[in-house]
Amino acid sequence: MSKYSFEPYYKLNMKNIIIAAISSIFFAFSGISDNQVWIHANFPSSVYSGDQFTVEITINKMSLKHFAEFRQKLPKGFTAVERVSQSADFHFSNQFVKLVWLRLPRQAQFKVSYDILVDSSVKGVFKLPGQFTYIYNNQRGNVYLNNLQITVHPRGQSLDFNKEIRSGNIQFPPTDSNLVQCLRIKPFYSKDQQSIIVKLLVSRGVVNSAAKIEEQIPVGYRASLIESGNASFSFDRQKVEFIWNKLPIKKNFEISYKLSPISFNPQLPKINGSFMYLGGGQIQSSKIIELDINQKRNNANTNINNDDILNFFNDSPQNN
């Protein structure tokens, strides 16, 4: 009897042998193009350190039946826990989530999901690339998720600027580069005194998601765009809207629009607005704070002659 043992360090059961054998096929065939097979990921755009969130993956497999694998690379400090696997073997190892099917579910489209626990020490912006690999006509096909990312905010970090308001220390750009805020400079007359300029100062801080600004305009004014900041602009039923599918790369930027009075009104309009965005996995909303500051003389004229404005409206073609 030899003193050396040839017993392997671990034993593969038959299922694992089959998986390993089929996986090796992936390196023997080139990928194919099948535009009908697709995957979609759904999870929050931002969370806090120490949070738990759910990733839901929708897989449109069409008529595929046999071996397939979904994998996603997670950053350090992220841990995945199985939820709904749809008959797949779920694994989490070396920061990879893997769901492996020897035989795919019967339905053409199905969903899988898992929870991700974020360590309390994690913060920043992270990419979460994913890939669905399958066998079709004895060849390998791949569908990729390349543009997925999530922002992790430090626990306890303020995502609004209420503390700045209370302290009276409102600045643009803010002293805290992670702060999210939207300020409105008190509306002022244009140089030609024929319209009113509304300028908004936006600091997106750590937020890099979809966002919207809504401003309620008093009756008697029409709004038109000056500077959008890459947002879509609309004015309907006395409401101004700026909508971003994703906020600009620049952290601090200005947007503006002008108000054209429909009839003579020497008073500056009072506007109510809010800034909404995705933060911590939920829709956050903060009131837009108006700052009463002196505009430079080349941007505004505070010495307005009301008779001149009245004469302008009396002479305007829209009143003839």
Residue range 11-31: mean pLDDT, rounded: 40
Query: Degrees (nearest 5) of the Cα angle 14, 17, 22?
Result: 130
- Kindly state the percentage of the chain with pLDDT values over 70: 73
Starting at the earlier edge strand, list the strands of the sheet with 89-93.
31-32, 139-145, 130-136, 68-73, 96-101, 89-93
pTM strictly above 0.75: no
Residue pair 225/215 in contact (Cβ under 8 Å)? The answer is no
CATH topology of domain 162-319: Immunoglobulin-like (2.60.40)
Average the pLDDT over each of 34-38, 76-80, 154-158, 204-208 and give the range with the smallest value: 154-158
* Cα–Cα distance measured from residue 170 to residue 140, given in angstroms and rounded to the nearest whole number: 57
State residue 199's pLDDT score.
92
Question: Domain extents for the chain?
Answer: 14-153, 162-319
Predicted confidence (pLDDT) per residue in 141-185, tens digit: 999 988 888 988 876 544 444 444 444 556 788 777 777 889 998
Residue 3's pLDDT band (boundaries 50, 70, 90)? very low
pLDDT at 309 over 70: no
Residue 18 reports pLDDT greater than 50: no
Measured CA distances, 148 to 30, 102, 128, 209, 232 (Å): 25, 27, 5, 12, 23
pLDDT at 319 over 90: no
Per-residue pLDDT, 284: 81
If pLDDT is split at 50, 70 and 90, which confidence band does 38 have? very high
- Average pLDDT value for the chain: 77
* CA separation for the pair 100, 67 (Å, rounded): 8
If one looks up domain 14-153 in CATH, what number appears?
2.60.40.10
pLDDT for 35 equals 55
Please tell me the predicted confidence (pLDDT) of residue 176.
73
Report residue 137's pLDDT band, with 50, 70 and 90 as the boundaries.
Answer: confident
Contact 52, 115 (CB under 8 A): yes
Residue 239 pLDDT class (50, 70, 90 cuts) = very high
Q: Would you say the CATH fold of 162-319 matches that of 14-153?
A: yes
d(CA 286, CA 275): 5
- What is the structure's pLDDT at 205? 82
If one compares 90 and 280, the residue with the highest pLDDT of the two is 90
**Most confident among 138-152, 179-193, 229-243 (mean pLDDT):** 229-243
Asked whether the predicted pLDDT for residue 206 surpasses 80, the reply is no
Which is more confident, 208 or 160? 208
22 is written with which tokens?
């089929």
Is residue 106 pLDDT above 50, yes or no?
yes
Angle formed at CA 300 by CA 175 and CA 256, multiple of 5 degrees: 55
At 47 the pLDDT is 83
